[in-house]
Amino acid sequence: MEASIGEVLVSIIAQFEISEFETALNPLLEYTPHAIDDLPFIGKAREWGLTVKIVPALRKPLGHCDKDRREILLVSLDAQVFLHELAHVAIERLCGAITHTQLQWKETIAELAAVGLCHLVMGKSEQGLRSAYSHIFLNAVVLGMNPVEACLEVFHETERIIKHILE
């Protein structure tokens, strides 16, 4: 039986709480896309009218979603970074349903959604969880929370974002 979105998110948050990133609920799946067309949910990005480009000299850390130009720009073919940017697009598409609109909340939702989607589609990776934890930690500190509190605060909105991407 496959885990529900909520169960996957709870699993991720629990791992954040106990910091046992090496504990695998699913076998580790090493997935390295070889081309943009190999990215998970690239079809969803195109369905939403987005262009995805690799821009190694991008001045953003790993990726960026340019809403005006309808582009997702990536430094490399990292599926989790792509899904983070796709989650930002989903947040914008569902803006009326999202109450946590401050930048740090959106970043927390997008990162939790990205790691949740990776877990659902490709299996869990230790590096992906560590990366997500770090990203969420930095945003949670600005919000005066710890990462688990921040994730729990946006749990239902993150679940809604994941469902929207999976539709």
Per-residue pLDDT reduced to its tens digit, 141-166: 999 999 999 999 999 999 999 999 99
In a domain, 111, yes or no: yes
- Is residue 23 situated within a structural domain? no
- Comparing CA positions, the residue from 80, 44, 40 lying closest to residue 63 is 80
Q: In which element (H, E) is residue 13 found?
A: helix 5-18
Residue 83 inside a domain? The answer is: yes
Residues 6+ positions from 119 with CB-CB distance below 8 Å? 8, 11, 12, 26, 128
Q: pLDDT by residue (tens digit) across 97-154?
A: 788 889 999 999 999 999 999 989 887 666 788 889 889 999 999 999 999 999 999 9
CA pair distance 96, 65, nearest whole angstrom: 19
Q: Give a yes or no: residue 24 inside a domain.
A: no
d(CA 150, CA 102): 12
Residue pair 160/114 in contact (Cβ under 8 Å)? The answer is no
Number of domains in the chain: 1
For 85, the domain range is: 5-18+31-166
Identify whether 26 is part of a domain: no
